[in-house]
Structure 1
Amino acid sequence: MAKMELIATAAFGLEAVVARELRELGYDDQSVEDGRVIFRGDERAICRANLWLRSAERVLVKVGSFPATTFEELFQGTKALPWPDWLPEKAEFPVEGKSVRSKLFSVSDCQAIAKKAIVEKMKERYRRSWFDEKGPRYTIEVSLLKDVATLTIDTSGAGLHKRGYRDLVGQAPLKETLAAAMIQLSFWRHDRVLLDPFCGTGTIPIEAAMIGRNLAPGRNRTFAAEQWGQIPASLWQQVREEAHSLAALDRELRITGTDIDEAALSLARRHARKAGVDNAIHLQRQPMSESRSRFKYGHLICNPPYGERLGERQEVERLYREMGKVFSALDTWSFYVLTSHPGFEALFGRKADKKRKLYNGRIQCNYYQFYGPKPPRREEAAETSEKA
């Protein structure tokens, strides 16, 4: 199988997390840019990246890139690319677009020109004057950044955050990809305790359980490229069988999610069942103020309320002060908190060891990381033995 350039797109701040995931999958030939990781791989890489990436948004095939400061350059550059190698005669190929700091700033015009150029290229190969587009879907994007056009085809279809377990959501849901990234940035391991005292509909505990049991996040969904002739169904089947063989389905985990909202917890239980990890997570109704643990070492990872709405700010600030007092009792634990409140550290009563700018949807946040002491090896071994 010939290698090609592939792109794993990522939310701002998560590029390094996605790059690390790709390296763990064996794709070391990569470069990291804002919002994406470019890597080289074959058809199997398309399957494996879609199935396994936890924090990426999509996996794209890069068809080509070239400078374009005029519509004529955009047309000719697009037409010169090998579209018939990808698009079958009956392909459905909508064209989407975006433009950042480029002379060609009209996205709708760029989309129309790219579409026309692709059709002209297809005419040369298939000897047809029109295409009914009733076959497999190949979503094309023309992206202009600093006067360079990049043309890609989306292999994922629905965004990779759509794992298939969350059909019902509560208020202000945390995206699955961001929850997975928060866990990965904490370097939590399956033999450690994890607590989320604001678990809501369960996204952080569920993603942690999937990581802890090495369950491929895309195992219960389909992808756009599964309908493409370039990738045989047998290859998708092989990759899925590989994922199944690597799953640690019987691994015991110590993951707890608590919340004061019983309706949200009901959704969390439903989502955990659909994700196949309901027996790996303990969910219960409990206020954050009662957060306790009999384990000396652990990870507390949470996405508390931000106080973005008018009138909520004072209530949230009281909550953050209370968090500081409650969490201080877990003095050998590590804490990881995502919030958009700029004064969180002062309210919490402690300066973070590290913070990272992330986006929860369109809300700019900081991911505050407070490191507890490393457990002694003897203690860590004892906890692992107790768990076993």
Structure 2
Amino acid sequence: MNTQTDLEIFLVTVPGLEPALKSEAVEKGFKKPVSAKGGVTVKGSWLDVWRANLDLRGASKVLVRLGTFRAMHLAQLDKRARRFPWQETLRNDIPVRIEVTCKKSKIYHQGAAKQRIETAITEELGAPISDDADLCIKVRIIEDLCTISLDTSGTGLHKRGHKEAVNKAPMRETLAALLLRQCQFTADEPVLDPMCGSGTFVIEAGEIAANLAPGRSRSFAFEQLASFDETRWEKLKEARAQTSQKPKSDIRFYGFDRDGGAIKISRANAERSGIDALCHFEKQAISHLTAPDGPTGLLIVNPPYGGRIGETKKLFPLYSALGKTLTDKFKGWRVAIITNNDALAKATDLPFKKSKTSFSHGGIRVTLFQTDPLT
């Protein structure tokens, strides 16, 4: 196994939520986290790469920078790509996929650059090239500097391996985890989502409370690398599994939705995650919503938001009714609402904090609005 300890590891996330991911990286013991646009850079070994994929809830991908070199023209790119130590990382029997981006460089033709990299790998290493390969090499040529990185995750890390069914406009698990962290969610308080869809917020909160590794049920691209050691990987997973725990006996996680199909989906997803005993899902309209017995906690909701003016206008009554219900029935609870429209948030008449968090969700710029405990 390659024991290199100073790898540059880039944890990818949604722009706007880098501070939350950096906080998680610090909490999980990753070294020298530094925020950058679209992610957080940490230093570590291949073991840290594995651990990041297994254990980080907020990262969308885990990339490793393999090296850099200057290339002013295609012939130079070809020569230096052939001298690159591919064999230290890649296997000659595993197909790879190449993605190239060129910006502000004398090499501007991405297709030609991609062809040169592919030829170098096939002729120097012997590895096959496939556009369908799980293993992806990302090449960025920016201002004539060629940076070669490896996607060690494969399928996006929001795919935990438990959610077989989703409702429309689903919230990704990685995004839900970061938003829970942004709301200062602690594992010893309940979480309630009154419009739960496929149950992402509720299930993510339950998994955090049970201290389960988010990547415990899936495979990763790094398992196909020359640096991979299956015995050490299995030991890492076993050690991590032993850290799971039972939350406090009175803490539960609640999801409600007026769509019975959504509730059925949520229950099935929670069962696959192994935390169905911690979660309570029930078909219920906002108008019938009441705070559950027991301690107060966090109510977080991602209500519908209109893409066009006419659609937005129709949502004002929903937001107003939601705000009134929460004001009347959720004293002591903190509230978090995700929406793309400040006017819709204002329609709830809730006492939101001045500080907000904006980010992209499904290509739409949205904002997380938060309150202190309601009085």
Q: Same fold (TM over 0.5)?
A: yes
Q: Does 1:228 align with 2:231?
A: no
- Structure 1: runs of 5+ lacking an equivalent: 123-129, 375-388
5 Å-filtered alignment, 1:350-369, equals 350=350, 352-353=352-353, 354-369=355-370
Q: Distance in 2 between matches of 1:341 and 1:68?
A: 45
What residue is the counterpart of 2:262 in the other structure?
264
Structure 1 residues 276 and 68: CA distance shift in structure 2, 3 A: same
Among 142, 146, 149, the alignment partner of 2:139 is 142
Contact 1:110 1:142 in 2 (8 A): no
Q: Distance in 2 between matches of 1:160 and 1:248?
A: 23
5 Å-filtered alignment, 1:1-388, equals 1-3=3-5, 4-68=7-71, 70-99=73-102, 104-122=107-125, 131-132=127-128, 138-145=135-142, 147-249=144-246, 251-252=248-249, 253-293=251-291, 294-295=293-294, 297-308=296-307, 311-329=310-328, 330-350=330-350, 352-353=352-353, 354-372=355-373
Q: Distance in 2 between matches of 1:351 and 1:225?
A: 46
Following TM superposition, by how much is the alpha carbon of 1:90 offset from its aligned partner in structure 2, in angstroms?
2.0
Q: Distance in 2 between matches of 1:145 and 1:55?
A: 27
Following TM superposition, by how much is the alpha carbon of 1:224 offset from its aligned partner in structure 2, in angstroms?
1.4
The letter of the residue matching 1:16 is: P
Q: Where does structure 1 differ by over 6 angstroms across 4 or more consecutive aligned residues?
A: none
Structure 1 residues 361 and 157: CA distance shift in structure 2, 3 A: same
Deviations 1:196-239 (A, max 9, x none): 10101101100010111111100011111123331211111111
Secondary structure in 1 matching 2:254? strand
Contact 2:188 2:248 in 1 (8 A): no
Following TM superposition, by how much is the alpha carbon of 1:105 offset from its aligned partner in structure 2, in angstroms?
4.7
Following TM superposition, by how much is the alpha carbon of 1:297 offset from its aligned partner in structure 2, in angstroms?
2.9
What residue is the counterpart of 1:386 in the other structure?
none
Contact 1:140 1:154 in 2 (8 A): yes
Secondary structure in 2 matching 1:312? helix
Following TM superposition, by how much is the alpha carbon of 1:266 offset from its aligned partner in structure 2, in angstroms?
0.5
Structure 1 residues 209 and 55: CA distance shift in structure 2, 3 A: same
Larger displacement relative to structure 2 (222-231 or 153-162)? 222-231
Deviations 1:214-272 (A, max 9, x none): 11100011111123331211111111111211101465332111110000110001100
Structure 1 residues 313 and 151: CA distance shift in structure 2, 3 A: same
Following TM superposition, by how much is the alpha carbon of 1:360 offset from its aligned partner in structure 2, in angstroms?
1.1
Contact 1:199 1:258 in 2 (8 A): yes
Secondary structure in 2 matching 1:191? coil
Contact 1:90 1:133 in 2 (8 A): no
Structure 1 residues 76 and 331: CA distance shift in structure 2, 3 A: farther
Secondary structure in 1 matching 2:31? coil
Secondary structure in 1 matching 2:356? strand
Larger displacement relative to structure 2 (200-209 or 358-367)? 358-367
Contact 1:96 1:142 in 2 (8 A): yes
Q: Distance in 2 between matches of 1:105 and 1:259?
A: 50
Following TM superposition, by how much is the alpha carbon of 1:331 offset from its aligned partner in structure 2, in angstroms?
3.4
Q: Distance in 2 between matches of 1:20 and 1:156?
A: 21
Following TM superposition, by how much is the alpha carbon of 1:6 offset from its aligned partner in structure 2, in angstroms?
1.5
Q: Distance in 1 between matches of 2:38 and 2:106?
A: 21
Q: Distance in 2 between matches of 1:373 and 1:25?
A: 31
Secondary structure in 2 matching 1:279? coil
Q: Distance in 1 between matches of 2:372 and 2:144?
A: 43
Contact 2:11 2:61 in 1 (8 A): yes
Structure 1 residues 137 and 259: CA distance shift in structure 2, 3 A: closer
Larger displacement relative to structure 2 (155-164 or 281-290)? 281-290
The total of aligned residue pairs comes to 366
The letter of the residue matching 1:315 is: K
Secondary structure in 2 matching 1:173? coil
The letter of the residue matching 1:183 is: L
Contact 2:327 2:374 in 1 (8 A): no
Following TM superposition, by how much is the alpha carbon of 1:308 offset from its aligned partner in structure 2, in angstroms?
2.2
